[in-house]
Amino acid sequence: MPFERASGVLAHPTSFPGLHGIGDLGDSAFRFIDWLHTAEQRYWQIMPLVPVGPGNSPYASVSAFAGNPLLISLSRLVNDGFLDASDLSDAPTFPSNRVDYEAAADYKESKLRRAFDRHRSGAASQLRPEMETFLAEEASWVHDYALFMALKHHFSDAWWLEWDAEIAFRAPGATEEWANQLRAEVDYHNFVQFLFSRQWGKLKQHANERGVGIIGDIPIFVAHDSADVWSNQAQFRLDASGRPNVVAGVPPDYFSRTGQLWGNPHYDWKAMAADGYRWWIERFRSLLRHVDVIRIDHFRGFAAAWVVPADAKTAASGRWERGPGSELFHAIHSALGDVPIIVEDLGLITEDVETLRHDLNMPGMAVLQFAFGDGPDNAYLPHNYRDPIVVYPGTHDNQTTIGWFAGLDDATRAQVQTYLGQDGSDIAWDFIRLAMASTAELALISIQDVLRLGDEARMNTPGTGLGNWTWRFDPRQLDAGIASGLATLTETYGRVPPVEKGARKRDPYDYTAEGTKHSLYA
C-alpha cells in the first residue's frame, strides 16, 4: 500500500542513553520521541525488539514474538510499585558509550526477579487484570515461549534437542506436566513479557500522540534453538532427530565473497499452507500490536530462498528454491486487512522478486551508498526512481555515511561529488538532503548519520559475529539545533503533513553537539 511523502529516523532502543548498561524504554526513549516530533519526523524505525541471540543479534533470537527483557526500564518498575528506589541503589558503573550485554543482563535479571517476587506478594495488584488480558491476547505464543525459557533454565541453557526426549519432541501430556513442574519459572517469564508489553505500549502511545509512527522489523527466518521451532516442529524442514535438513543463507554478494551462511532452518511451506499460514498470521498480528508499519527483512526469500545443505561450510554451495509467493500475503490480508509493509529487496534481486513486489504493491528499498561506483543507470540513484520506494543513505548493516565516504577510491569519490554538486565535507547531511529531495515516498535516516558520526558508531557488520549491536549515543548529541536543521530539510522537500507546512520559520543553520555551525544552504 502507498505511503504519504514523509521521513523518519532509524535508531534501535539499545542505543539510547541510560543508567543500567543498555538503552531501555524509559525516560530517554520518551525524550527521543519528543526530539523526533520537534524535528518533524513522522516515523521511527527500529530493529526487532526480541531477546538477542548469539553475538547479541536481534536477528537470531529465541523467539520471533517475545520482547527483549533488557529493554525494560527498571526506573519505571519503581513507578509501578514492583521495585523500590532503594533496589536500584547498587547499580554498578556501566559504560555510557556502548552496551555491556553481559553485565546489563546480570544486573537487570536480578531486579526483574525481585520485581516478580514482589508481584507474587501482591505488589501493584491493580495491574493484574491488565496482565491477564495480555496473556489472553498473546496466548498463541506467550505460554509456549515462557515454558521454553523455563526449560532452558532447567536444562542449563542446553539446546532443546538435548532436553529429555518427551519434552523436546512434545510428547502427549509432556508440556502440561513440565509446565506444572516449572510453574514458578514459567510464571516469571510470562510476567516479564507483560512488563515489556506494558512499557512498550505506553511508549508507542506517546509516539503516536506526537505524530510518530513506528516501523518494526520481521526477519524472514528464525533461529533453530528457539521457542518458534520447538513449538512448531512440523512447520520446519527438520529430520527425524529434529535437526535441519537444509539451512538459510545468501549467495556471494556485496557483503561476502562466499555468501552468508545464516544457519536458520527453512520453513516447510507446504505444511504452512495446509493450515492457512497460521503461524505467519499470528506473527504479523502480534507485531502489529507494537508497530504501525512492518519492514520485511530479506523479502526475496518469499519468492525464492537460498537453500544450503546443513553440513555445508559456506553458503556458496546453496541453490534457489521457490517460496510461497503471494499466497502467504493474501492469507495475511484476509486475516488482518491491509498491513502497511516495506520490503527489503536488496542484494541479488531477480525478476520473480520484482514481480512479487509489484503484484503486492509494496515499496522496496534504495540505499544511497549502493548508488555509486558505476554509471548513471544505477537503480539506487534518485533520478532513476520509478516505483514506490523507501530511500536510506545507509541501513544498520552499512557503514555510516562518513565512514563509507572516507573509504572510497578517487574515481567513486569524484562521482559522488559531481552528483551532489558538493565537495563532501558534510557528506552525512549531503546524503540526508539527497534522500529528502528524492521522489521516494519515505526517506529514513540512521541516527548515526543525523549526528554526523564515523564508523566508530557503526551498528552491525554483516558476516561478523563479534563487536556488533553495542553502539550508544550521548544524550548531549541529540540537541535542538540538529532537530531544527532536520526539520528545515523535511519542510523544504515536502515531507511534513500539508497542515504543518510553513507553520514556523527556522534558522537556516544547524548546530552540531560540538557547536560547529553548518549551513544547510551551502
- Annotated active-site positions, please? 297, 344, 397
Residue 191 CA from chain centroid, whole number:
23
Burial class for 411, CB neighbours closer than 10 Å (0-12, 13-18, 19+): exposed
Contact 264, 224 (CB under 8 A): yes
The CA R_g of the chain, rounded to the nearest whole Å, is 23
d(CA 20, CA 472): 12
- The grid coordinates listed for 87 are 533496589
d(CA 82, CA 29): 20
- The grid coordinates listed for 49 are 525488539
Angle subtended by helix axes 183-209 and 128-137, to nearest 10: 90
3-state secondary structure of 44: strand
Contact 215, 8 (CB under 8 A): yes
d(CA 262, CA 221): 9
Measure CA of the first residue to CA of the last residue in the chain; give whole Å: 37
Give just the sign of the alpha carbon dihedral 375, 381, 383, 384. positive
Contact 24, 17 (CB under 8 A): no
d(CA 43, CA 272): 33
Scanning 291-344, the segments in alpha helix (DSSP H) are 326-336
